[in-house]
Structure 1
Amino acid sequence: MYEYLYELIKEDIADGKLKADEKLPSKRGLSQHLQISVKTVENAYEQLLLEGYIRSEEKRGYYVNKIAVVTGGAPGYAAPVKRFQEETYLADLTANNIRYDRFPFATWAKVMRETLTDYNTSLLKTVPFNGVLQLREAIADHLNRYRGMQVSADHIIIGAGTEYLYNRLLQLLGPDVKFGVENPGYRKITKIYDENGVEWDYVNIDDKGMKVDELRMKDINVAHVSPEHHFPIGLVMPVARRQELLNWAAAEPGRYIIEDDFDCEFRMQGKPIPSIQSRDRSHRVIYMNTFSKTMVPSLRIGYMVLPEKLMEKYISTMNFYSCTVSGFEQYAMAAFIEKGYFERHIKRLVNDYRGRREKICRMFRESRLSEISTIYQDDAGTHFLLHVKTSLSDVEIKWAVRQKGILINCLSEYCFADADKYHGILVIHYSDMDEATLKLVIAAFEEIFL
């Protein structure tokens, strides 16, 4: 009751119906007029006093304070403007969306329950700036077994995804650094560079990866590469080019390699090649990875491994930044790795994706599209390239496909230069594609291109 009365008086003051310095009825007088208790009026007046709408003058009563009259309607009641609306599509081929029926919900729930029991009060404590020790140790062990890396848990920093960690890394490396990115390559990283105001340039790739001679020619200090699975081309950087990169980094002080191990777990043929970091003897490789691709995107746990010199600088200058991942999720992820669940989960995903990839590629090759199309890189990660012979421009392709309810990206969109040489090449992400949807996609493509 008092809240309602308070709102009415406040609205009258804000609208100018109650003028500045106007005297309000006494508590008793207003209570008798409204036939409510004196206590109700007193509580309403107290709240108005607290917020400064009225003042109390000793032995005189309550008076309205001078408040600017609100114009343009009552605050909080304007219809909100919708800035973003999530659209739905027949198929989204632009990103690797996880198949939720392949996520081990029961096991993850079991691990979370055990985490609550095993760590109870530890979950309430402040997380160290570099992340929970148990998770950093689990990651170090995983990298040793899976990527051939001998790293200390003390060199690992946990953060809410690689985008957050890139921002911290750019701050750590400082403003006087020039970054080199692969062309074609992942465009989001350059947007992060632009937002942070750092200098960058593209470096062309050949069939072995980033061209090292262009790094020298363009005076690059930090090379950003994805050697295990280049995105979107899908090539794997051979050992000779990796060593060439390491030699380039070691030749001058201040040079570093950012090894983005994107999609490294999803090798469809053979074993993963040891990371560039595992061959680094000059401590010039910054290793980046995330669990968003292997677990679920909403589990925002990424990590970077810093070489000794950069780790010392981070500790001395940036340890005031709080860790951005909850302790509960970190302890749970650590247990998921330590108990072998993560490795088994990866194996199941790889087997599922391998079978799905073979089936999808076969359906494309057995369709009428095969007359005008070729599939490239059908063993690289969770996407492949479909080259279509067409007179349509890439912009026209995207528009025509979108009219069919399908989202698609063309390889030319990942280029910083020489985009024309990749005309008509579609980047097909397939990780959550079911057979029924794929048939509709192929039928739509046949209508557009044939």
Structure 2
Amino acid sequence: MADRLSARDVIALVSAEFTEIAYPRTEFKPDGPLSWQGYDESRVRAAARTGEEESVVCGTAAIGDTSAVLIAFEFGFLGGSLGERTGDRLEAAYSHAREHRLPVVSLVATGGSRMQEGMLALTQLQRVARQSALTREAGLAQIAVLRDPTTGGGWATLGAGADVTLALPGAQVGFAGSRVRPPDADPAAYTAEAQLAAGAVDAVVRPEELRQRLALWLGLLTRPSAEAAPPPPALGTLDLPATGWDAVQRARSAQRPRAAAYLDAYFTRRVTISGDRCGGTDDGMLCGFGLAEDGRPLAYAAQCGTATRPAGYRTAARLIRLAGRLGIPVLTLVDTPGAANDAAAERQGAGAAIADLFAAVATARTPVTTLVIGEGGSGGALALAAPGNTWAAPDSYFSVIAPELAAAILKRPADQVRPTADQLHVRPQDLLGLGLIRGIAEDPKG
């Protein structure tokens, strides 16, 4: 069941220390800027019912070991709607965050823009979007928590526009509120869980876990570092393959350690981001942030051995750009037979998604370190690899094309696949000799 906590209650849920900031004061003529009859009375009733003077409460709070600007919506005040005074408060909160170099956490519960203020209310979305963009340019993290309901412009700015978007179970989330949707619309599509499945939300978090989860996220997103991530040690076979075909067979082995094993060994704690924000997810690409053994936060994007789908490439690009804005180094793990090449992948923009990831890696603002842990299949793998800082595990290979496909293109018989693998120089030691990788991962025991 989604929560309907008040603004003060949800603030208390995530922090025991909260100090409200000073707000500017916008004076209205009677019944507001449009002289909407009864508007003043509605506001008076809302204030009496909630104890608040507006639909948002803003201040600073300690969440775990991190100080943050906290924005909490009061849905009981005119449905948490945004008006001109709401915009004043939100602008003041974002300005305070930039002035004091603090991340922003928004606890959103809103029905949209306030009709009694007409277009003046709607244009507050532009105001909020600008403040969010300025805060992003300043390198400060923004986390949104979607409560029930989060609809309209609040979802399309504070919610969907955050760097990391969490949601409470069962919360109504969607641009269209329940009273303005088509009569045949499926209500299940407008939920936190549906938005997670569609790649618009990173995680659904239970209320009792929210404080701990926010503390972890803030700790990971607010500690920049200029030092590149060290490559993980090898977890599988340590001896090098004798032939190219041996390298291919080892990389394809079901017993070889996969991305999850490498991430679990490398990080003491980690969290995930999910989705490409374009309607897609890919379980074969794990992305998120974690604490390395030396205590440094790092970002990671890891292929899981499957053909990577367009949503996976877009999610990885999103991760790398976010890490760059926040000054966090990136670790990537390459393991894919190649990019998904079915008709659905083409319709989902496979080429554009791969191009976007190539661009994100090429222009990364923070160091990117890559380890090839399995199959390195063509451009679908290369897009995730760091130029000049790629390493390879002993049980991996990297190739311009799979040996079987190369033999087929060259019109060679099936018995020529193995020698073709040798000709392609796909082994880790071959890649090192060609200067394509910096080194081969070593035994974790030294």
Between the two structures, name the one with larger relative contact order (CA 8 Å, sep ≥ 6).
Answer: 1
TM over 0.5: no
Structure with the greater alpha carbon radius of gyration: 1
User: Which structure dedicates a bigger proportion of its chain to strand?
Assistant: 2
